[in-house]
Copies of this chain bind each other. A is one copy, B any other.
Amino acid sequence: MPSNLPNNIPDIVIGRLPIYLRALNRLAQEGHEVTSSHELGQRLGISSAQIRKDLSHFGGFGKQGTGYQISYLQEKLSAVLKVNREWEVALVGAGDLGSALAHYRGFADRGFRIVCIFDNAPNKIGKKIGEFTIQPIEDISKAIAERGIKIAMVAVPAEHAQAVAELLIAAGVKAILNYAPISLYVPDDVRVQYIDPVVHMQRMTYYLPDK
C-alpha cells in the first residue's frame, strides 16, 4: 500500500492519523470490533466530518452507514504510517528522562524499539538501563550506521542538542524526536518533532482565568 499512496496529503492530516490509530487500539483493547467516525470523533473531540475527510485521502476504509472494521482500519493506518513493522530507535541521553524513555513499555507494539543508548557522562558509560548498556557518544556514528538506524530520541541538555543532532544526522538518522527545549537546525530531508512540556502548558495558561 505505501507504494501507491497519494503524495499530497497535508501534514496536518498525517498528524492526526497516529491519534486515530491510538484510539482504535484502545477500542480494540476494550473488545470493540466495529466503530464509526461519530464514535471516534466523540472520543477524540474531533468532528466526525473531519475524520471521514481525513480517511478519504486514503480511500475511505469504510462503507457509509456500516462503520469501520477496527482491525482493518488499524492495519491500513499502520501501513500508511509505516508502523506495520518495527523501527529501531537510538536514544541519546541517559538522565532521568532518558531512563524513563528506556523503561517505557509503550513503544514496542506501536512500531518502535529502542536498541541503543548513548551518554557522555563517564559515570554512566558502561552502566545498564534495563537490558541496555550505556555507550559513549563517540560510538554514535558506528553504532547507527552499522544498524541502519533512521530514528533517534534526543534527551540531552539544550546546549548539547544541536551537536548531538548533527552526529546523528551524519550517521544516517532521518527523524529526530527532540526533548531538549531548543529548536534544531537540520537539513531538508530530516524531520524533527519536539516534546517540551512547558510549551504545552504555556499554550493552556493563555486560556486560564487570570487569578
Count of identical protomers in the assembly = 2
Nearest Cβ in chain B — how far from A117, in angstroms? 14
* A145 touches B (CB below 8 Å): no
Q: Could you say which residues of chain B place their CB within 8 Å of the CB of A175?
A: 201, 204-205, 207-208
Given A100-B97, A210-B82, verify A204-B151 contact (CB < 8 Å). Answer: yes
The answer on a CB contact under 8 Å between B208 and A200 is no
Q: Give A104 to B179 CA distance when docked, in angstroms.
A: 12
Given A97-B100, A99-B100, A206-B80, verify A193-B200 contact (CB < 8 Å). Answer: yes
* A26 touches B (CB below 8 Å): yes
- The 8 Å CB contact of A26, one of B101, B182, B199, is B182
The answer on a CB contact under 8 Å between B112 and A15 is no
Which residues of chain A in 8-41 are interfacial with respect to chain B, using CB atoms and an 8 Å cutoff? 14-15, 17-19, 21-23, 26
Q: Could you say which residues of chain B place their CB within 8 Å of the CB of A122?
A: none
Nearest Cβ in chain B — how far from A119, in angstroms? 15
The answer on a CB contact under 8 Å between A202 and B110 is yes
Q: Give A194 to B158 CA distance when docked, in angstroms.
A: 22
* A197 touches B (CB below 8 Å): yes
Q: Give A181 to B112 CA distance when docked, in angstroms.
A: 15
* A127 touches B (CB below 8 Å): no
Sample (21) of A-B pairs whose CB atoms are under 8 Å apart: A14-B203, A18-B196, A22-B198, A26-B182, A82-B205, A82-B208, A87-B205, A97-B100, A106-B181, A106-B196, A106-B197, A107-B197, A111-B202, A112-B198, A151-B208, A175-B201, A175-B204, A177-B197, A193-B200, A193-B203, A194-B200
A19-B199, A81-B205, A82-B206 known, 6 other contacts, Cβ within 8 Å:
A14-B207, A82-B208, A101-B197, A151-B208, A174-B208, A191-B207
